[in-house]
Amino acid sequence: NCLVTAGPTHENIDPVRYIANRSSGKMGMAIAEELASRGAIVNLIIGPSTLKTIHSNINQINVNTAEEMFQQVDKYFSDSEISVFSAAVSDYKPKEVFSEKVKKSENNWNIELAKNKDILLEMGVRKTKNQFVVGFALETENEVENAKKKILSKNLDLIILNSTKDKGATFGYDTNKISIIDKDFNIKQFQLKEKTEVAKDIVSSIVKFTSKS
């Protein structure tokens, strides 16, 4: 049994506006389909996206907000032997959500933000010795150092690092360039590839490490 999170979250401001990011969900979808192609039963929890899988081994669960994603992860995590958290979950949400569209005025509009639950941290705390947890780190600076800190702070077995500085990688592309770092801080770097090929590298690494344990 596997769990994969993918895509962005949308944090509502009012009925027509929200806070989001540029994640498409393509990387997480590719990982879910690669796991499924190797025989895994996958619960794919994906934020707002036009993507839809047709693989019979994947149970696709569509959510919108970080809270909705947390609730679904909470439901499936304990039964998941492998969990891959590739979703770009919003760290913050508007403290107040307006029931009607906020009208434009001449004044500045200040929106107070509240912290969302840290899904990866929560699941890292709950993780048992029989569970393998993979996180993602999208960094703009001090990439490796920040990824290593995340491994420790969130009790991860592997982290997939991508940088916004790599051309043709991360949001909005069908390609990605990653490094995989394990909990002993060993680093394996990969070239720019189609996300379907990147998913194969990630799943192969997971298989390699889980077969050792």
By annotation, the residues acting in catalysis are 21
CA 64, CA 84: separation in Å to the nearest integer? 19
Q: Which of 200, 201, 208, 149 is nearest to 34 (CA)?
A: 200
Q: Residue 21: how many CA atoms within 13 Å on its side-chain side?
A: 19
Both tokens assigned to 24: 């498409």
Report phi then psi at 134, rounded to 5.
Answer: -115, 130
Evaluated on CA atoms 85, 88, 91, 97, the torsion sign reads negative
Both tokens assigned to 62: 């569509």
Q: Which of 123, 131, 112, 41 is nearest to 89 (CA)?
A: 123
